[in-house]
Amino acid sequence: MTTATTTSILDTLGIWDDERVVKPSEATDSHVLVENPATGEPIAAVRLQTSEELEKTTAAAVEAFKAWRKVPGPERGQLVRKIGEKYREFLEPLGELIALEMGKIRAEGIGEVQEVVDIADFAVGLSRQLHGITMPSERAEHIMKEQYLPLGPVGVITAFNFPCAVWGWNAMLAAVCGDSLVWKPSLLTPLIAIATNRLAQEVADEAGFPGLFGLIIGADDTIGEPMIADRRYPLISATGSCRMGRRVGEVVAGRLGRTLLELGGNNAIIVEPDANLDLALKSIVFGSVGTCGQRCTSTRRAFIHESVAEDFIAKIATAYKSVVENKRIGDPLDESTLMGPLIHEESVQAFENAIAEATKQGGQLLAGGKRLDPESLANDAIKGGHYVEPTLIRMPAGEHLPIALDETFAPILYVTTYKTLDDAIALQNGVVQGLSSAIFTGSVAGLGRFLDPSGAGSDCGLAYVNLGTSGAEIGGAFGGEKDTGGGRESGSDAWKAYMRRQTCTMHFGDSFALAQGIRFE
């Protein structure tokens, strides 16, 4: 990864044109250094904004909402279509900036930006379908219907691991619903937020809607806490840890506002003996290694039927070791790289602590477990990066290690065996998180048991059959249950979160009629 490459990406996206961004050497105490996790070196410094700037940004969003909500839905959709075209134009440099700043490989970074393009396309069609229902009235000469109305400025708080797509899920839907937005991104990935938001607001400015897409970069105490407490934000959409989500939920509920929470995941794959084992193996390896285990949908636990377990678990270990031995870990911008770095040194320490705790609890280390030395990497120019080995830990048969009940944002997979499918489903559901789940099976019975319409199967918001836990399409609602927060973003009817519902009753006759047969003469 060369300095020229970094400079080219930042210049193409106009990062240096933003008044908040300075060279690392020009940073002061009011700036946060943005580090490249692949090299450990600073890329730029971003000024932390003040409470006064938050007030200005919020006030602008309120004014933008007043004008934007009056624009017909299909016309709002046309603006979103233009935004989608902007992202198509800058697809590669935006994806490369994600790789540079967050550390996911280039293909995944570009794929993340493609999600924003896709959700923009989805939102354009949606802009003509923001419909309620009609229902019969019990009174003659009365009509009843529901309509959905713009909600107001939406506060969006995002995490580092999907620094572009999650904003897009919220922004494109909220915009066609008639809402304005204010975005507080992670301080680990503010550069992609600046580039992403600038492109959207450029389109809004051209259409005469300043302040439609606001961006505020700052610390939790200065920006986050006042934002979630502000009644001018009827909805706060927050993605991050369960701890963060509880705080957001508590504060917003205290003012009777709405929340859309996408929190932790502790996702599992069940492998039945009649499954396509080759497909299951590939899905488990990608699900646990992709994005260096830093997806909320990363595969963290695997339950293998005891009749096929020994050979299958050995193949997972071999695959993990080959990723290291074949030097497929390294520079995220190198096309040959399969796994990039962890986001920062604290994540490496969490990785090491989890492994130490797992072995103390009786786990058997089958592969990985260490920080990578420079000689193991694909590129010697990235010696200062935060690289670790993909790690496989075997748990006692039919049991969880206590550490496996927690989510560690790292490429650690805990594996064990099971006797019956009921046992496996109980293990999968036996954690507080409820985001993504998967089963590999060759039988209709296995499929039916896992997706049992009574709710006795998977208790997660996402359930896959013969697919891994990662890689959701934008057409379906994304989100999870239990400590994952219960929110839904992206496709299906997730748009309803960004609108308020109104029941309308119209009387077109002359008689005075009350409901429930009440007479008032």
List residues with catalytic annotation: 262, 296
Helix (H, G, I), strand (E, B) or coil at 43: strand
- Specify the DSSP element, H or E, that contains 239: strand 235-239
Which residues, in sequence order, are bridge partners of residue 415? 302, 394
Beta sheet of 364-367, edge-to-edge order: 364-367, 391-394, 412-418, 299-305, 267-271, 436-440, 462-465
Cα atoms in the Cβ-side hemisphere of radius 13 Å centred on 520: 7
- Specify the DSSP element, H or E, that contains 281: helix 277-289
C-alpha 277/C-alpha 273 separation (Å) is: 8
Under 8 Å between Cβ of 451 and 458? yes
C-alpha 425/C-alpha 450 separation (Å) is: 7
Neighbours of 336 (CB within 10 A): 12
Q: Smallest Cα–Cα separation from 302: which of 323, 291, 317, 321?
A: 317
Helix (H, G, I), strand (E, B) or coil at 514: coil
DSSP letter at 511 equals S
